Structure 1
Amino acid sequence: MKLTVSTHKLFGYRATLRTAKRLAEEAVRVVERAVPGRMPDVQVVLTSERHLADVTTAAEWETAGCTDKRVQARALRSAKRLARDTAGRAIPLADGGVLVVVNVDQHPNEATFAITLVHELVHAMQMSRKDVRERLIAGLRNDLGVEKQSRRLSREHERCLEAEEKEAYGAEYLAGRLVPAAAA
């Protein structure tokens, strides 16, 4: 398991990057012990609300194999609308790793950052489970119009996403082990 923490078009946040590296290493250890699965290679990218959509959509296009410029433009517009409310996202990468993108504008302190980091790392652990990565990539390809899914598979994908989201929200209490203020 390899962990990389970096920034994307984020200047003057050196202290935030140091804090993120420290918290990410601890969070990986805590989540690995508490959540079933195997932690894949994780790249944590800190960025602002303005650049969140750029980073996430570029990773999704690469993973899904989307080359249609009109579809890419539509996906980017949609992601920019959602970026304001997004604290973080976990995206499967083509090489088998996971990209965790964190919106630093949504995190005023270490406690909220720790909660988001634990939540997204739980999603990373889920992607290591049997058939989850393939299902997520197939859903991504369906959303981008690269390869359509049947309605049955699409509904099953949505049900699985809801269950995975519940599991991730249920594991957020683990952030209290990283930063005591997150337990409140």
Structure 2
Amino acid sequence: MIAPKEGVLVLLNARKLRSSRDVALTLVHAFVHVDQLNRKGSRALRIRHLQHEFHVQALHPSQVREFARLLKEEEAEAQHLEGRLVDQMQRAA
């Protein structure tokens, strides 16, 4: 979640995290998204999309499609990295 002053707020539903691996997977996934959010232009793009969603300033349909494509790519990246990084951390421990 975008927070004020260039911050990011990560919320977890602790009741659904049943094991230390669940916690690790969730945190790694969330922090991949934090990294993505801090990429150049990402924050501004998300704010523009939110403004579109709340009917403050409309985006062109091609911009909406491009944003949806970007979100799919970022989610795929987070899913790919979560298991890989958690496995590496557990082997190193």
- Does residue 60 of structure 2 align to residue 150 of structure 1? yes
- Does residue 59 of structure 2 align to residue 175 of structure 1? no
What amino acid is the match of 1:175? Answer: V
For structure 1, list consecutive stretches of 5 or more residues without a partner in the other structure.
1-90
Aligned partners of 2:49, 2:68: CA distance in 1, in Å? 9
What amino acid is the match of 1:93? Answer: A
- Choose between structure 1 and 2: higher helix proportion: 2
1:127 corresponds in structure 2 to 37
- Does residue 49 of structure 2 align to residue 139 of structure 1? yes
Aligned partners of 1:114, 1:120: CA distance in 2, in Å? 10
Aligned partners of 2:38, 2:68: CA distance in 1, in Å? 18
Measured on the aligned residues, the alpha-carbon RMSD in Å equals 1.6
Pick 1 or 2: higher relative contact order, CA cutoff 8 A, min separation 6. Answer: 2
Aligned partners of 1:142, 1:170: CA distance in 2, in Å? 29
Alpha-carbon distance, 1:128 to partner? 1.3
What amino acid is the match of 1:145? Answer: H
Q: Per the alignment, in what secondary structure is the counterpart of residue 140 of structure 1?
A: helix
1:124-175 deviation line (CA, Å, top 9, x unaligned): 0111111111111111222222322111111110010011111111111212
- Please, what TM-score do these two structures have when normalized by structure 2? 0.86
- Please, what TM-score do these two structures have when normalized by structure 1? 0.46
Aligned length: 90
Aligned partners of 2:32, 2:40: CA distance in 1, in Å? 15
For structure 2, list consecutive stretches of 5 or more residues without a partner in the other structure.
none
Indicate the percent of aligned positions where both proteins have the same amino acid.
32
What amino acid is the match of 1:104? Answer: A
